[in-house]
Amino acid sequence: MSKEIHFQRKSEVLKRFRFSKSTLANRINEGTFLPNCAMGLRSVVWISYELDAMAAAIASGKNNDEIKQLVSSLVEQRQELSNGVR
């Protein structure tokens, strides 16, 4: 898997998905939205191609269980990416 990785900041994610900060936090906690990636002590980002997959799932009418499965799969892929980097 060799994808070019681009990041989006929290403000961009909130604008793109039209979420409030509390809605974003709630969805992350319930597993229906991707967790962020830490870029430092006070900076978090999301991976663009993961957000594209989330947007497609939402647009196609996936239910919460299907979105949770997608989130789980994408987080698992992150682990595979990190295992390949040494």
What is the number of structural domains in the chain? Answer: 1
For residue 38, list its beta bridge partners. 44
Q: Which of the four pLDDT bands, split at 50, 70 and 90, describes residue 85?
A: low
Residue 29 maps to a domain: yes
What share of the chain in percent tops pLDDT 70? 93
Work out the mean pLDDT of the chain and round it to a whole number: 93
Residue 47 maps to a domain: yes
pLDDT at position 86 over 70: no
Residue 2 maps to a domain: no
Residue 1 maps to a domain: no
pLDDT tens figures, 27-53: 999 999 999 999 999 999 999 999 999
Residue 19 maps to a domain: yes
Q: Which of the four pLDDT bands, split at 50, 70 and 90, describes residue 73?
A: very high
Q: Which domain holds residue 62?
A: 7-84
Are the beta carbons of 31 and 72 closer than 8 angstroms? yes
Are the beta carbons of 47 and 7 closer than 8 angstroms? yes
